Amino acid sequence: MEQLLRNFFLFLSKNKSLTKMAKKYGLRFGASRFVAGETIEQAVKVIKDLNSKGLEVTIDYLGEFVDNEQEANVMADHCIIAIEAIGREKLKSQLSLKMTSMGLDISDEVVMRNMYRILDAATKNHIFVTIDMEDFTRFQKTLDIFKQLKSEYENIGTVIQAYLYRTEKDVSDLNEFSPNLRLVKGAYKEPPEVAFPEKKDVDENYKNIIKMHLLNGNYTAVASHDEAIIEYTKQLVKENHISNDQFEFQMLYGIRNERQLELVQEGYKMRVYVPYGTDWYGYFMRRLAERPANVAFVLKGMFK
C-alpha cells in the first residue's frame, strides 16, 4: 500500500494541469507545513526564526516545467533576489536550485548564462550554491555542468543520489574536485535498470558513499530523516576522528523539527532545506510520496 501511495503522488507531481491549479489557489491543504510562503519576504522571516534556534538553512525558490527562455531568466532573477536578501539580512543561509528551472532543457547557452549570473551574485555576497539533482535523464548533463562550474567557482556543490547504481563511481570520479556534496537517498521514481528497487540496498549504498566521501576528506552533507543513517554517520565520524567541521546534517523544512533542534544541541551543524514560491505543487507531492504520515497530516488539515 505504501508503495502504491508513493507511485500515485509521484505521478501527480508531474501533472502540469494540477501544477497550474495549485499556483492559482495558493498554499492550502497543508502545503504551508513544508513550504515557507510564496515570497522572499515570507521566506526571510522563516529563516530568521530558524537561525535564532541555531539552525542553518539552504533556500530554494521552487520551479518546475520551465520550458522557455523567458521563464528560465525570471527563475534566475528570483535566485539572485534571494541571494541579495540573504546577504542584506546577514542570514545563515545558502541557496539551492534546480538547473531545469535555469533552462537545462532549453539550451546549454541559456542554462550556462543563468548559472554564471547566479554564481557571480553569490560570490559577491559570499554565499554557497548547491545544484539539486533531478531525475536520471538529466543526471549526467547536470554533473558535466557542475564540473565545468566547479573549475571556475569555489562556492558551488551538487547532490548525489544513493539509489542509483552508478553512484559509487560518481563519488570516486568527483573526488579530484574536492567537492562539497549533499548525499541523499533519492526522491524520483526511477526504473530498476538504473536504480536499486529495494530500500535495504539503497540504505547500504547510502552508508557506503557517506563513508567514501568523508574518508576522502571532503565536506559532506548527510541529507536524511532516517535515524539509522544519522546514527551511522555519528559513529563513523567518531571512529575515524573526523571533525564536526567536515560534515553537516540536513533535513527538510517541516519534517522532524524536534530532531533538528536535538542535533544542534548535540553540537552538530544542522541545515534546513527551506523552499518557497508559487510553484510549490510538485515539491509538495514528492513530500507526500515520501511518508504516509505526511498524507495523514494533510488529510487532517483538510477536514479541519
CB 210 within 8 A of CB 220: yes
Is 132 catalytic? The answer is yes
- HSE-up of 9 (CA within 13 Å, CB side)? 22
How far apart CA 92 and CA 100 sit, in angstroms, is 26
Determine how many CB atoms are found less than 10 A away from the CB of residue 224: 22
CB 121 within 8 A of CB 80: yes
Q: Are 95 and 40 in contact (CB under 8 A)?
A: no
Report d(CA 91, CA 87) in Å as an integer: 7
* Helices and strands in the chain: count of H runs, count of E runs: 12, 8
H-type helices in 125-224, by residue range?
Answer: 139-150, 167-174, 199-215
Q: Which of 60, 105, 170, 182 is catalytic?
A: 182
Question: Which residues lie across from 156 on neighbouring strands?
Answer: 129
Which listed residue (132, 170, 203, 279) is catalytic?
132
Asked whether 160 and 184 are in contact (CB, 8 A), the reply is yes
Residue recorded with cell 539509489: 163
Distance CA 297, CA 87 (A): 35
Residues annotated as part of the active site: 132, 182
